[in-house]
């Protein structure tokens, strides 16, 4: 149980009523802590490289980091491209050893989104890996507003794009720091009534924990992306480490002290999704 595709971990989740966390990474310290937490909980994990992560570290390096962690892990680890905006982004991730590509055409007209996503899915499947697409637009806290997913469009997208998982917009918002929002359950039920593939919630940090658990167990939502919540845990831990001794300047020494707090926060996140312990 090491390197896995998105389909490898989401199909069992769909069948057995649990969800898998897509954890947004920014650097080595978080990646390592996420895998350590998944091993402690005995569940699969999806390591995600989003646009800000890719701005910081080139995709070929991220691919090697993800694969190194996966190949030495005792649980399935997916190396996932989050929000690839172009065919070139996705092709580079494929060539860099990623096992899952998420193409985000959600800002584009429906048919263009379907056609471009289908091309990515075809490329991914030919290489033996997975593809996630997005229908409806998930907005950003303090930024772009969301456009909710239309169930009829979701049904068309799911069939014609050929994706292994479908991200939807149902009240979720990227970069939300509190958990006061909550999701539109009626819209989720309408979407899952006309589709049969795993559904994905981006902006999962803003979803109340009890709602995450409910949907993981009793819906087609099989993947929650969690970034802001764990980024906050990392930032608080690093601030504490720096302030503990203002004379320290060695970042390796400082960053070591983020590991245990981030592992603990990640274990809390993973536990809410109800995955049975492996092995």
Give the separation between CA 82 and CA 66, rounded to whole angstroms. Answer: 13
Let me know if 186 is a catalytic residue.
no
Helix (H, G, I), strand (E, B) or coil at 253: helix
Q: Which of 90, 98, 120, 92 is nearest to 6 (CA)?
A: 98
Kindly give the interhelix angle for 110-126 and 151-161, rounded to the nearest 10 degrees: 30
Cα–Cα nearest to 8, from 75, 95, 68: 75
Joined together, the tokens standing for residue 129 give: 């890996």
Find the catalytic residue in 8, 55, 82, 150.
Answer: 82
Could you tell me which of 127, 126, 106 has the C-alpha nearest to residue 116? 106
Q: How many helices (H) and strands (E) does the chain have?
A: 12, 9
List active site positions. 82
């Amino acid at each position: 149980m090491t390197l896995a595709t998105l389909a490898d971990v989401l199909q069992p989740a769909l069948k057995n009523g649990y969800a898998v966390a897509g954890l947004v990474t920014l650097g080595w310290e978080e990646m390592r802590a996420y895998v350590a937490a998944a091993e402690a909980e005995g569940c699969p994990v999806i390591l995600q490289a989003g646009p800000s992560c890719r701005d910081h570290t080139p995709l070929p390096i991220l691919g090697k980091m993800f694969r190194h962690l996966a190949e030495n892990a005792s649980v399935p680890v997916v190396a996932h491209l989050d929000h690839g905006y172009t065919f070139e982004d996705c092709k580079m991730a494929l060539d860099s050893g990623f096992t899952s590509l998420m193409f985000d055409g959600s800002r584009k007209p429906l048919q263009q989104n379907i056609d471009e996503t289908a091309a990515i899915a075809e490329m991914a499947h030919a290489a033996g890996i997975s593809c996630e697409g997005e229908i409806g637009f998930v907005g950003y806290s303090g930024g772009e507003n969301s456009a909710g997913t239309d169930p009829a469009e979701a049904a068309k997208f799911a069939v014609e794009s050929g994706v292994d998982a479908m991200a939807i917009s149902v009240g979720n918002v990227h970069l939300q720091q509190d958990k006061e929002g909550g999701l539109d359950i009626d819209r989720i039920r309408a979407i899952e009534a006309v589709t049969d593939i795993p559904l994905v919630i981006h902006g999962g940090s803003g979803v109340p924990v009890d709602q995450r658990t409910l949907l993981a167990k009793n819906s087609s939502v099989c993947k929650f992306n969690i970034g802001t919540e764990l980024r906050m845990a990392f930032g608080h831990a690093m601030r504490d480490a720096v302030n503990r001794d203002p004379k320290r300047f060695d970042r390796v020494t400082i960053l070591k002290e983020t590991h245990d707090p981030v592992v603990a926060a990640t274990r809390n996140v993973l536990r809410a999704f109800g995955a049975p312990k492996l092995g």
